[in-house]
A and B are shown apart, each in its own frame.
Chain A
Amino acid sequence: MGSGASISATQERASPDRGSGWSELWRKEDWWAVWVGLATVLIAYAAFAQGTSIGWIAVAPAKWSSPDQLLAQLSADAVRYVAQFVVFAAVFTAALTAIGQRPSAFLGSFVLVYLVSLGIFVLGAWDKAQTYNLEPPLIALFLGLLIANTTGIPASLSGAFRVEFYIKLGIVLLGATLPFTLILWAGPVAILQASIVSILTFLVIFFVARKLGLDHRLAATLGAGGAVCGVSASIAIAGAVRARKEDPPIAITLVVLWAIVLIFLLPLVARALGLPAGVGGAWIGTSEFADAAGFAAAQAYGGLAGPETGIAGTADQAVWAYTLIKVVGRDVWIGIWALVLSLISVTYWERSGTGGPVEVGQIWWRFPKFVVGFLLASILVTVVTRGISFADYNAQVKPTLIAPITSLRIWAFTFSFLSIGLTTRFRDFAPAGGRPAIAFTAGVVVNLVVGFVLSVLVFGSYWAALAK
């Protein structure tokens, strides 16, 4: 067989990489987060417009101070919790089955996720929780890590550990509670701040990695993980630059390890420095790489705000500032990063070629679509509540429309934080090696220091006054 014929005989090319066309709308979890999130917001609004509320199904434990009080509360709301579980299970099973999960694998696992999450909610609602630093996001993560790494939980019970689906759904729901006017007001500063840190962090990781002799493609994969949106960015850039098979696992190991360290470290340091909630949220948004990990840290820090700790601001400010920096300022640019690095890769690094053109369309194909849902939810609620006085908003809109959506969002986030722990297996980490670890850690230091300077010293008053 001639060599030319041999090459063509073994050459495989899938259909041109135009995302997955319309099928993306029901095959990607991003879109399912959008559908489920927007449907929830629309149903909540429909109920509100009819003079009622979805509050009955959005039940969550209220503050309690004694076991008797807790028991009475849980007994009274037992039917609501059962109904809530059934609705969550039905909707999530439908969504995840559509993207290719087996329903039976999801359902059994979701019972575990729901019950442990309920336990975390209960602990977080204890009136002494703040005194003992029992922040629900951190408990969820810690408990998940403990279960996954000590009990040898079987793979058959992992069907519902879908970190990304839950966090994306939570972000869409969060959009409904974040005024669009605030996104317009704070968005430019968030984008400026995030861009400075992203570009600086990428360049530091990339050039330190190259200086240490690492391959261009690994350097870019590591750089994106630290600069844009963690593991998701690493995997997107690995594809864009045609990385070697062993590169993504190295980046995953370093991103996940550092992200977990920062989940605990950032709220701790921010508290020690007494940063206002909005400022702490902005710093976390600038310094954490992975969305879910950062939300855990930001929600934990927001939960500390109040007179007992002396931390100024509100829980919402921490989460909103984090969201603006992370989602609006960093996540949305992943397609641009992929396009630029893809061009550089085929032009300079991999000139021997893999055969395909660099497609500009990847800016959209790789776009994190849940951001569309986040923005639509924000616009929708902002439009339907315009013209309502501040007093009426607080008396009517907040308790019957915003509060139930917020409660469902916190449920979704808790499922996600618990799932981070449940899916992180320390024994499965790829051996990253010293040089990638040094390069990535250099980027972490830049993220932390520059993030602190921008969030606290340069834009501190701006983030402290967010939505005041």
Chain B
Amino acid sequence: MHFDNDPHRLERAFPNLSAMSSGFASVKSRDGLCSLRAIYLPAGESCCSHHAADI
């Protein structure tokens, strides 16, 4: 899996996030990290490589 929106792992990936917000907050919706593209995006987005040759 390249897309990860688990709140616990997100709080570890973004240090100090829980100091003034939370991985479990409504404002976060179901956004998560796409490790393939190294971006943070909504769950409904695709987490795909745009470099087909690298696959």
Contacts and interface: CB of A to CB of B under 8 A. Distances in A.
Interface string B17-49: 111111011111111111011111111111111
A70 B50 CA distance: 67
A236 B3 contact: no
Contacts of B32: 14
A3 B52 contact: yes
Select the residue from A10, A19, A253 with max chain B CB neighbours within 10 A.
Answer: A10
B47 A242 contact: no
Nearest to B23: A235
A233 B14 CA distance: 14
Given A359-B44, A425-B15, A259 B20 contact: yes
B33 to A, nearest CB: 6
A248 B40 contact: yes
B48 A11 contact: yes
B16 A253 contact: yes
A3 B18 contact: no
B43 to A, nearest CB: 4
B53 A3 contact: yes
A405 B47 CA distance: 46
A298 interface: no
Interface in A217-267: 229-233, 235-236, 238-240, 242-249, 252-253, 255-256, 259
B48 A16 contact: no
A244 B19 contact: no
Contacts of B43: 14-17
A40 interface: no
Contacts of B1: 12
Interface of A: 1, 3-4, 6-7, 9-20, 24, 27-31, 99-100, 161-165, 229-233, 235-236, 238-240, 242-249, 252-253, 255-256, 259, 290-293, 334, 352, 354-357, 359, 362, 365-370, 420, 423-425, 428-430
